[in-house]
Amino acid sequence: MTLITQVDTATLRSDADRALYHVLRNLALYKSFNDSLDENALSAATDYFLEEKDYSHASLSLYLQGNLNIAKKEFSKAAVCLIRSSEIASRIGDIYREGFCAMYIWEVYGKIHDSGRQIEAAKRAVCSFDSINRRDWKIYALLNLSSAYNNRVYHDSLLIAGAILWIRSIGRRRLYERLEFMRDVNTLTESLKSQTNRNAAIAENIAELSQSIKELLSSKACDSRAALLGLLRERREKIANEIKYFIESAFSTTEIIDGLSHTIDRHAHNLYSNFKRDFPNLKDRDYHLFIFSVSGLTAPAISIILGESKEIIYNRNSRLRLRMKNSGVADAELYLSYMS
């Protein structure tokens, strides 16, 4: 940010220089957690890059506009910008940006409670990150997909189980995109290893379901879909409850909470320790909510981890934010800016 502010804009003579400057300046603001991006400048830059067939910069400009409109709660405009950015990224083979566009499209549809489109966006993100072997981001796309299915009241247990298996297999992960300060969180993996027995029980349950389906399909008595669907309905909720319990127990351990808080402090200048110092009388559940929010987890994801409804999480989040705003604490705005 310091370098870009030192540019003398009077020396920018060509349209190409001005368009590139606007994109780089707004990208620097975005990376600095500053939502005061210049929408008009980005729109003009997008038009220029599209006219010049510089599709990479056009896609980036639209991506930034999409994120700006999310911050402004203009979700329809955000969706249009992000979808356009994703389409351009797909056309030029920029799968990484396509994956991120899909992640934010998932967020937009969550804001307007369209879980059907949320599911489709999360699937695209999973496929994008999988195709370029970005396992770190694939886990978050899988968690988003699980949350979208949860919003849709689908007990898609195999997808949730897939997310858990990815958590177990990745030793380095990122829980907050812009800071990227979670790349070296190995404590999560170590703690999850203690859940081996729980995993075995889940695997056994899934294997039992698979065997029952095979037996049912081989039976002469199975002459309609009704019997198979009845079996699936009977078993899938049981498996989903097993996995939800596993998620709750895995993330609620002292080792996980301590590991996340220490990582936040290490990469964000003692943010969590300062937060506890300034707000010493909060309940543990509010400290945990702050940790998970700063780590980039959404309310649906937190609701799965804490075993509470999304409505309760939203209400708790609102009360915590209001308390921080009205506290008179000097760094209150800083703490709020880190919460997703």
Spell out the per-residue pLDDT of the chain, length 340, in tens. Answer: 556 566 656 677 788 888 888 888 888 888 777 777 888 999 999 999 999 999 999 999 999 999 999 988 999 999 999 999 999 999 999 999 999 999 999 999 988 888 888 889 988 998 999 899 888 788 788 888 877 777 765 544 444 544 444 444 443 333 333 333 333 333 443 444 444 445 555 555 555 555 554 555 455 444 445 555 565 566 556 655 665 665 666 566 677 788 788 888 887 788 999 999 999 999 988 998 998 888 777 788 788 777 788 889 989 999 999 999 999 999 999 898 887 5
CB 99 within 8 Å of CB 140: no
Which residues lie closer than 8 Å to 195 by C-beta, 6 or more apart?
246, 249, 250
Closest among 238, 239, 245, 233 to 304, alpha carbons compared: 245
Query: Within a 10 A sphere around the Cβ of 113, how many other Cβ atoms?
Result: 8
Write out the two tokens for 83.
Answer: 């979808």
What residue ranges in 93-135 does DSSP mark as E strands? none
Distance, in Å, from the CA atom of 170 to the CA atom of 134, rounded to the nearest integer, reads 11
Query: Within a 10 A sphere around the Cβ of 147, how many other Cβ atoms?
Result: 27
Distance, in Å, from the CA atom of 105 to the CA atom of 70, rounded to the nearest integer, reads 10
Distance, in Å, from the CA atom of 42 to the CA atom of 69, rounded to the nearest integer, reads 12
